[in-house]
Structure 1
Amino acid sequence: MTETIHNDLNPEIILGHADHRQLNILAMAGLDHTPEQSDNLLYELERARVLEDTDVPTDIVRMGSSVRYRTDTGQETDVVLVYPADADIAEGRISVMTPVGTALIGLRAGQSITWRGRNNKRHMLTVLSVLPAKPAAE
């Protein structure tokens, strides 16, 4: 049986109904291809407090949010959290189906979380700032 994320820092996470629904579909679809990461995402979704989309505070990491975070090594990184099809690390768009992406979803500015990387090493990150998703270009 695959072991899920074990967090020393296990902060409350908040998701809107739409993100929660879409991420559940994504995680379930990935069970055949990326079972460990899908399990990790399902674990986070299961423990999330789900709100109406309009009630999710603006400082919560949602799909499409621009996020600045600091790792336990002191490195600060700016990313946009996206679905796997839109990921492009060179452009700073990271997939929610990566260990960092799964750790970020639902966090609020100021929160920290521990997570395990693909090498099974424990890491910690702290969300420094969150900007809401930019509206789609028309």
Structure 2
Amino acid sequence: MAKRTAGPAKPRITLTAADHEKLSALAEAALHTMPDVARELAEELDRAHILPGGKQRADAVHMGCDVDFRDDTTGRVQTVTLVYPHEADIAKGRISVLTPIGTALIGLPLGQSIGWMTRTGESKRLTVLQVSRPKVEERAPA
């Protein structure tokens, strides 16, 4: 089991009831194949404030949203869409919630920062700069 480093307490996160239910099942299913990330996701879910059915906090990272965040170590700003593993496509900026950075982002409110550990054990910190709905891709007529 990974050792936690002492640091600032993690900020409170908020999830929809539907996201919490789906992500709980995903974390349980991933325990055998990706135990470290699955445990980290389960810990995030355990400390989440869950909104009643149908409610969603617009300024908190939720599944399917676009997120602008800053790597506080390098100052680099990135925009990603947080998705379920089967929808992930790094070339399109679609990152899985079952990655260390995806797990760090889920439920995090606008302006909040969180520390997280890369798969190589490097300690990082990120800050959410913007949360928005993804732009709908235009499709050419068939």
Q: TM-score w.r.t. structure 1 length?
A: 0.91
Pairing 1:10-25 to 2, within 5 Å after superposition = 10-25=10-25
* More displaced stretch, 8-17 vs 67-76: 8-17
Quickly say closer, same or farther: Cα 1:38–1:133, change in 2 above 3 A: same
Q: Which position in structure 1 is the counterpart of 2:100?
A: 99
The more displaced of 50-59 and 124-133 is: 50-59
Task: Tell me which structure has the larger Cα radius of gyration.
Answer: 2
Q: Which secondary structure state, in structure 1, belongs to the residue aligned with residue 54 of structure 2?
A: helix
Secondary structure of residue in 1 paired with 2:129? strand
> Residue 87 of structure 1 aligns with which residue?
88
Which residues of structure 2 form unaligned runs of 5+?
none
Pairwise CA distance, 1:91? 0.2
Return closer, same or farther for 1:26/1:5 CA change in 2, 3 Å cut-off. Answer: farther
SS at match of 2:28: helix
Q: Structure 1 residue 53: deviation in Å?
A: 4.2
SS at match of 1:70: strand
SS in 2 for 1:54: coil
Deviation at 1:22, TM superposition (A): 0.1
Instruction: Single out whichever of 47-56 and 113-122 deviates more from structure 2.
Output: 47-56
State the aligned residue count: 136
> In 1, distance between residues paired with 2:8 and 2:120?
18
8 A contact 1:4–1:36 mirrored in 2:
no
RMSD after superposition = 2.0
Identity %: 46
Structure 1 unaligned runs (5+)? none
Q: Residue 45 of structure 2 aligns to which amino acid in structure 1?
A: L
Change (3 A) 1:126 1:65: same
